[in-house]
Chains A and B, each alone.
Chain A
Amino acid sequence: MDALLTKTKTAVGAEAQPKQKITGSEVLLRSLVEEGADIIFGYPGGAIMPVYDALYHYADRLTHILVRHEQGAIHAAQGFARVSGKAGVVFATSGPGATNLVTGLADALIDSTPLVCITGQVFAHLLGTDAFQETDVVNTTIPVTKWNIQVTEAKDIAPAVARAFYIANTGRPGPVLVDITKNAQNEMIEEAEYNKCESIRTYKPKPVLQPAQVDAAAELINNAKRPYILAGQGVLLSEASKELIAFSEKTGIPVASTLLGLGAFPTDHPNYVGFLGMHGNYGPNLNTNECDVLIAVGMRFDDRVTGNVSKYAKQAKVVHLEIDKAEINKIIKADVAIHADAKEGLAALTAKCKANQHADWFASFKKLNDEEYEKVTRKEFFPASEKLTMAEVIHHLSNFTKGEAVVVTDVGQHQMTTSRYYQYKDPRTNVTSGGAGTMGFALPAAMGAKMGAPGKQVVAVIGDGGYQMTVQELGTIMQYKIPVKIIVLNNNFLGMVRQWQQLFHEKRYSFTEMQNPDFVMLAQAYSIPARKVEAREDLQGALKEMLDAETPFFLEVVVGKEDNVFPMVPAGAGVADVLLEAPKI
């Protein structure tokens, strides 16, 4: 893979003659090069063949990764974008090629991931005629894109791509889609200088910080006895981790993280109190309803964080620092809203807030988290049962990697366990499907993450259910020798659904038990070294072998079938109703 990543870029137009005529397809590729897009995840087909034909001649400037399914392409691009901060680029053909992107688009939209997806489309004169592989991609993807456009003439390709990158990367990032008809791809036009988009009349991505909002927030914070910071992904997207640390350290305010905010604040920092939400830590959930000023930074009060909103932080004044105006007052009313980029807003707040300490308030978090450790964590790290637990796997993984690996999770019990126990230290090391909860996300996202951060150890942690949703991407990992490490925590169940069935549906395990293939043989069929662990004494050695491997490596860990993830805020309950163990029936 290194060879793929170290290809020297040739300056665009260096060998081209002025006023030379080129195809729309080549205009597209030149535009991508100008935007600094060096890796494309894609899958060819009839309506995008002219682009792929042109791509044949751009192998020295653009690296294309041939995935095994378009969903794999878009999740890989998401993984790439999340670790690199650059927009991920995807190619797909018309019809089913494009519709296979829909899940990834929805995932990227809700999780604010910048993507530029290029889809081929039938000839313009065939639009609306039900031509072969014709789908109305623009109207299909309106609800799942930040913006999309159909281009039917070659002259419009470069401006559309420029606009696409600008929209994807600015403000609250998100996925965009450019649908290009085949005639536009084939059309010859005079080459022209590429102009990056720098503004759009109707789009104002960077709000102007209002000092009065900062003053009002600072007044609340300066007078607070039990202030509390909730850090979301907005901190990561605006690269505001340093500003968040400075704000917390000066004001002496505890910081908790949302699922996507993990990594924004070091988990080993003394001011870090834990992970929020349905399976978050005990103290951070309970103390949400004890704080007097709640400072939400770059987060959107997802229902997995708030639980029942009618029971959420009613006692607190809420300060909401958020770049997306539509998120302010959407779920939780803000007493003071700061409509701004997190980096700018935090710096301004730090300047206005006085130095402070809240020792008793911190002590209340410690007391609750100690209680959680005794009732939950200790039993999971050092179980009485012979069966391995997900928690002990993640605990060892975190220790062996010193919390510095990029960890990519799928959706379910393993995701919540990883979020609870992996000790994230750095920004852009947590890659997961948050808002959409897309099973099948992790395997392709991990290979994209490895392409985006080739110097980092990248470990995918996946359940046996989600793994099989996109397992075909083992072929991509094999072909490009992407040295990603894959852990499947196998309980032969759709574990999170099974947990809910146990707790809330009187143990009616309706279609959640899975008969799985031999995962080791499956990986070996793709020439990926593989190992299976069932006994505790083998776990640490297997993890070390996996981490030391210079190749891709697959590790299956068989865990207890009926283990549950706790703490848990049951559906419909308030955050203060968080449970440390299953209710006695």
Chain B
Amino acid sequence: MTIHTRTLLETNTITMKQEFTLEIHSDNNFSVLNRIVNILNRRRIRIKKLVAHEVEGDFRMGVAVLLLFTTADMMEKVKHQLEKLIEVEYAIYYPGSDLYCELSAKHNEQVV
């Protein structure tokens, strides 16, 4: 159960733009990356970095890691919109860029 307090929305931490690392696990079909980017574009979310690849050992699955610049409120909304995509298994995000470096390095190692 989630009980939200609406006043929370109005705090700076929610409305202030900052970096977020977004990790998306999905099927690796044609156009999946396009579908993901479409949702971010529609919300006019700035994509600072992006790495996407097949999962090693199973080309039918894929991972995308993105470094985004937006608000916490927007991140929560687009997470659910991304998870509405039929091919997306889940999307998870973290504040800051540290995890982007870690995740993109980890995923890069997988494809080497």
A interface with B by C-beta (< 8 Å): 138-139, 142-143, 146-150, 167, 200-203, 210, 212-213, 215-216, 324-326, 328-330, 333-337
Contact call A335/B81, Cβ cutoff below 8 A: no
Chain B residues, CB < 8 A from A146? 86
Q: Within B31-68, which residues are at the interface with A (CB < 8 Å)?
A: 31, 34-35, 38, 42
Contact call A202/B27, Cβ cutoff below 8 A: yes
Q: Within B74-89, which residues are at the interface with A (CB < 8 Å)?
A: 76-77, 80-81, 83-84, 86-89
Lowest 10 CB-CB distances: which A-B pairs, in order? A326-B80, A212-B1, A333-B6, A202-B89, A147-B86, A326-B81, A203-B86, A213-B1, A325-B80, A326-B84
Q: Does B4 contact A (CB under 8 A)?
A: yes
Closest CB in chain A relative to B32 CB, distance in Å = 10
Most chain B C-beta atoms within 10 Å of own C-beta, residue among A142, A149, A210, A212: A142
Closest CB in chain A relative to B94 CB, distance in Å = 20
Closest CB in chain B relative to A222 CB, distance in Å = 16
Q: How far is the CA of A326 from the CA of B77 in the complex (A)?
A: 7
Contact call B80/A201, Cβ cutoff below 8 A: no
Chain B residues, CB < 8 A from A329? 4, 76-77
Given contacts A201-B89, A326-B80, A333-B9, contact A142 B34 (CB under 8 A): yes
Chain B residues, CB < 8 A from A201? 27, 89
Contact call A216/B4, Cβ cutoff below 8 A: no
Chain B residues, CB < 8 A from A149? 29
B interface with A by C-beta (< 8 Å): 1-4, 6, 9, 26-27, 29-31, 34-35, 38, 42, 76-77, 80-81, 83-84, 86-89
Q: How far is the CA of A335 from the CA of B34 in the complex (A)?
A: 34
Nearest opposing residue in chain A for B26, CB measure: A202
Closest CB in chain B relative to A544 CB, distance in Å = 48
Contact call B1/A210, Cβ cutoff below 8 A: yes
Contact call B31/A142, Cβ cutoff below 8 A: yes
Most chain A C-beta atoms within 10 Å of own C-beta, residue among B35, B83, B84: B84
Contact call B86/A330, Cβ cutoff below 8 A: no
Q: How far is the CA of A333 from the CA of B30 in the complex (A)?
A: 35
Given contacts A139-B31, A216-B3, contact A330 B77 (CB under 8 A): yes
Chain A residues, CB < 8 A from B84? 324-326
Q: How far is the CA of A567 from the CA of B72 in the complex (A)?
A: 38
Chain B residues, CB < 8 A from A325? 80, 83-84
Given contacts A167-B86, A326-B80, contact A335 B38 (CB under 8 A): no
Closest CB in chain B relative to A149 CB, distance in Å = 8
Q: How far is the CA of A212 from the CA of B35 in the complex (A)?
A: 34
Q: How far is the CA of A203 from the CA of B85 in the complex (A)?
A: 8
Q: How far is the CA of A212 from the CA of B29 in the complex (A)?
A: 37
Chain A residues, CB < 8 A from B83? 325-326
Q: How far is the CA of A212 from the CA of B2 in the complex (A)?
A: 9
Contact call B42/A143, Cβ cutoff below 8 A: yes
Q: How far is the CA of A139 from the CA of B38 in the complex (A)?
A: 10
Q: How far is the CA of A239 from the CA of B47 in the complex (A)?
A: 41
Chain B residues, CB < 8 A from A210? 1
Chain B residues, CB < 8 A from A330? 77, 80
Contact call B87/A202, Cβ cutoff below 8 A: yes
Q: Of A150, A202, A335, which one neighbours B4 at CB under 8 angstroms?
A: A335
Nearest opposing residue in chain B for A163, CB measure: B86
Nearest opposing residue in chain A for B89, CB measure: A202
Q: How far is the CA of A209 from the CA of B64 in the complex (A)?
A: 30
Closest CB in chain A relative to B35 CB, distance in Å = 5
Nearest opposing residue in chain B for A205, CB measure: B86
Q: How far is the CA of A142 from the CA of B34 in the complex (A)?
A: 8
Closest CB in chain A relative to B41 CB, distance in Å = 9
Chain B residues, CB < 8 A from A212? 1
Q: How far is the CA of A223 from the CA of B81 in the complex (A)?
A: 34
Contact call B34/A139, Cβ cutoff below 8 A: yes
Chain A residues, CB < 8 A from B26? 202
Q: How far is the CA of A138 from the CA of B88 in the complex (A)?
A: 17
Contact call B35/A202, Cβ cutoff below 8 A: no
Chain B residues, CB < 8 A from A148? 31
